[in-house]
Structure 1
């Protein structure tokens, strides 16, 4: 009889732990949280979110499902922000929604692609920027929408866009989700290209979380192969806890080449969800678990013109350390100010550690260690 070695036992324990944590979470929100409500005591603070999805529609009151649609559906959601909102927390509405305590949808509207682009163009900030959030594995449409609402409420950024691909929203749906990401490349590219055609839009921040980061990189790679420099020139890529094989990522970077805005990666070497992903992928390392204290990683960041930011100091709320980006949202304006121009973004190339304790009073970065610049 063969006994598993110590590393295999450890990874198996991680898998069991993750399943136990996720299975023990509160019940997941149904599509009912997408239905507009009109209570009398609505808070003043509202946010508007544009959405694009290639999930199958389940009908006006049933939201979007887990199957692949043949076209992209566009919508706009207005949501009120509860005065009692706690940073990094999603307060879902109950059977009897209380807008003083919970996020609630107050308006929902179907849009054409042209209407979607026009709405996005009309919402740009002074620098002509829009942000697209691409969720990760094991997310329903409504979960991704409410996460975007939480991030928007905490960050103070205006009118974000969410692209929702057909995740199975299931712990055991990892392989199916990977296939859905590959299926979604053309649709996300269509959305990005449509937005880039608007003259008012000067910069598109593509923010991919987890497996959504893989989708973002695949779309940028595809744009490069199609010589769409008109689109690529407007892109700024931000990947949070990217669930991407290190060698695959290296290949993607090589094919994409240097970007106007250097990519930013938000990572943590103690991300236990990515430890499971690595195990499922044959124990191959994931980009989201890179160690910024490793001199080889530091040198690679410089050579590839990327910014690696370790978020380990930030608190995670999911039990496995995979959603730290949600806690980063309250520092978004400081981070955006640092990278508002290509020159500013280029000056941040290298490896950094996010210092949550000092971020409110000074630069939110401190050097992880001395980095030898060979640029």
Structure 2
């Protein structure tokens, strides 16, 4: 390092014009690594287009169906009546989709159509309807029954609307429990080059997510609101929670069970957010992986600022942070992902999703260590009740 420093000093004195070139060579391996990560992001087969949302008949096919309620800041897709575009809407749009799950569905997988959608082998939409805000709220409440939880999924960066919709359908189907899934879809560009635009769309969507949470929490027929965010969706959730705190809406925050999977949040920003939000009635849970390569790329783009989703729970400072803010940090590094980057491990934990209603820190008969004690197998693919701790969990004592 000293030799490199001396060389830089030499060139800065003798020939300042050479400094940018030298710096670019110094950073070249990192740019190549970033390029490799971005290529891996885009290595999947052709992504499904909006035509995937066309209604398909399931006549004569015995399938499982999942009803997904959607609140979105995406504008309506003028080319596809059933979908939403990358544009930003001025008001929340509401819809309901029924997704059919094929009989031979494999957990953690979305069986995308390879040709014409077929309910026997593929995820397909069997019905779709546009809802007004009152109809949306009423319909979700009607589905509740006896104070069942509402599970709200907030997707991450580089998602299309149809991908976020089918991802939630997959998680709800794998969970196989009676809960009401709600998708909050913000206007991601659904493109690798859209990272900055996506961050702006997240900030644009804060008021709308807060409005949705206020509306859902107002009806006491609803159980706790499980707010599950992936990647950049975690940033949106934290910004919304901070906003609710500043607005004095502790009544809403007390109903929230927040789980952030691989959150794409600057670690310093997260601490400032928690300084405002404070310890939550239901402890906030982080699902982290110290080898998440997608978040490594995000950190690179952010001048090497560490990301929350790459927290190392063996780091004493992380343990201190967990205790200070009353959060639980769950290391899921051993969980097998499907994207080659370690960024989508949450998909394999779908069975965790409905059980999040059990993260009720307000119950007097539960200690912090018992709240949110998850059962994972070696691949982190299963969960059952009663809970016992197999993963590493840091809980406030």
Asked if these proteins are the same fold (TM beyond 0.5), I'd say: yes
Q: Which residue of 1 aligns with 2:73?
A: 54
Cα 1:331–1:193 change in 2 (3 A) is closer
Helix, strand or coil at the partner of 2:47: coil
The answer to whether 1:249 aligns with 2:270 is yes
Q: Which residue of 1 aligns with 2:154?
A: 134
Contact residue 335 and residue 348 of structure 2 kept, 8 A: yes
Q: Which residue of 2 aligns with 1:118?
A: 138
Question: Which one of 266, 271, 288 corresponds to residue 287 of structure 2?
Answer: 266
Cα 1:17–1:347 change in 2 (3 A) is same
Cα 1:280–1:131 change in 2 (3 A) is same
Post-superposition Cα deviations, 1:272-318, rounded to whole Å, max 9, x if no partner, equal: 00000000011000000000111221122112100101111111111
Q: Which residue of 1 aligns with 2:189?
A: 168
For residues 220 and 337 of structure 1, the distance between their equivalents in structure 2, rounded to whole angstroms, comes to: 18
CA RMSD in angstroms, aligned pairs only: 2.6
Contact residue 41 and residue 99 of structure 1 kept, 8 A: no
* TM-score, normalization by structure 1: 0.91
Q: Which residue of 2 aligns with 1:219?
A: 240
Cα 1:337–1:114 change in 2 (3 A) is closer
Matches within 5 A, 1:141-152: 141-152=161-172
Q: Which residue of 1 aligns with 2:322?
A: 301
* TM-score, normalization by structure 2: 0.86
Contact residue 327 and residue 395 of structure 2 kept, 8 A: no
Question: Which one of 303, 318, 323 corresponds to residue 339 of structure 2?
Answer: 318
- Residue 337 of structure 1 deviates from its aligned partner by 6.8
Helix, strand or coil at the partner of 2:321: helix
Structure with the greater alpha carbon radius of gyration: 2
For residues 98 and 340 of structure 1, the distance between their equivalents in structure 2, rounded to whole angstroms, comes to: 41
- Residue 44 of structure 1 deviates from its aligned partner by 3.5
Question: Which one of 74, 78, 102 corresponds to residue 94 of structure 2?
Answer: 74
For residues 173 and 319 of structure 2, the distance between their equivalents in structure 1, rounded to whole angstroms, comes to: 33
Consecutive unaligned residues in structure 1, runs of 5 or more: none
Question: Which one of 187, 194, 205 corresponds to residue 215 of structure 2?
Answer: 194
Helix, strand or coil at the partner of 2:180: coil
- Residue 17 of structure 1 deviates from its aligned partner by 1.2
Post-superposition Cα deviations, 1:34-73, rounded to whole Å, max 9, x if no partner, equal: 1111142332311100001111112353621111111111
Contact residue 355 and residue 364 of structure 1 kept, 8 A: no
- Residue 93 of structure 1 deviates from its aligned partner by 2.8
Post-superposition Cα deviations, 1:205-260, rounded to whole Å, max 9, x if no partner, equal: 11111000000011111011011122112111110100000010000001011211
Contact residue 355 and residue 365 of structure 1 kept, 8 A: no
- Residue 6 of structure 1 deviates from its aligned partner by 10
The answer to whether 1:346 aligns with 2:368 is yes
For residues 123 and 223 of structure 1, the distance between their equivalents in structure 2, rounded to whole angstroms, comes to: 26
For residues 25 and 345 of structure 1, the distance between their equivalents in structure 2, rounded to whole angstroms, comes to: 43
Contact residue 298 and residue 350 of structure 1 kept, 8 A: no
Consecutive unaligned residues in structure 2, runs of 5 or more: 1-17
Contact residue 266 and residue 307 of structure 2 kept, 8 A: yes
For residues 60 and 372 of structure 2, the distance between their equivalents in structure 1, rounded to whole angstroms, comes to: 48
When structure 1 is superposed on structure 2, of 86-95 and 219-228 the one drifting more is 86-95
Q: Which residue of 1 aligns with 2:230?
A: 209
Q: Which residue of 2 aligns with 1:27?
A: 46
For residues 276 and 217 of structure 2, the distance between their equivalents in structure 1, rounded to whole angstroms, comes to: 21
- Residue 349 of structure 1 deviates from its aligned partner by 7.2
